[in-house]
């Protein structure tokens, strides 16, 4: 299918930024509550929150680089979203590995915090894009 036959669409930028910031913020609040009652306690609070913060920064950066406000053919968005998700995962885990190596922060809270921040962002972004694609197709 040629690009002339495909509709050029944009993705909703505000919801994407909302997920990139809101999901890690919600997970950070949950992380604080869990650290108050969990076995890791205060030792995990800082590194976990740092990893969640890294997730938020990387997620916002990826949304900016994705430029969802720019109209593109609908089929192009699929590949871009896969690349954005992979970049988000690699970027977040990479920065957390650097923090582990350079600052000798505990690996467990860094890894779990990063994954806890990433999963809702990836789910939210996919849901937003799927709704937009579904609206365009119907």
* Tens-binned pLDDT, residue by residue, of the chain (138 aa): 455 677 899 999 999 999 999 999 999 999 999 888 877 767 889 999 999 999 999 999 999 999 999 999 988 999 999 999 999 999 999 999 999 999 888 889 999 999 999 999 999 999 999 999 998 876
Contact (Cβ atoms closer than 8 angstroms) between residue 77 and residue 7: no
DSSP-derived pairing of the beta strands 8-9 and 72-73: antiparallel
Distance CA 129, CA 119 (A): 16
Question: Residue ranges of the domains in the chain?
Answer: 11-32+41-137
The pLDDT, as a whole number, for residue 3 is 52
């Amino acid at each position: 299918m040629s690009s002339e036959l495909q509709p050029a669409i944009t993705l909703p930028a505000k919801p994407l930024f909302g997920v990139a910031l809101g999901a890690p913020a919600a997970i950070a609040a949950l992380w604080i509550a869990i650290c108050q009652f969990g076995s890791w306690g205060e030792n995990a609070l800082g590194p976990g929150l740092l990893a969640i913060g890294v997730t938020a920064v990387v997620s916002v950066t990826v949304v900016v680089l994705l430029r969802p406000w720019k109209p593109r053919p609908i089929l192009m968005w699929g590949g871009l979203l896969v690349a954005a998700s992979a970049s988000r995962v690699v970027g977040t885990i990479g920065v957390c590995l650097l923090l582990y190596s350079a600052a000798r922060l505990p690996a467990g809270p860094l890894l779990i915090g990063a994954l806890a921040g990433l999963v809702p962002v990836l789910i939210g972004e996919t849901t937003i894009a799927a709704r937009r694609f579904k609206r365009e197709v119907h």
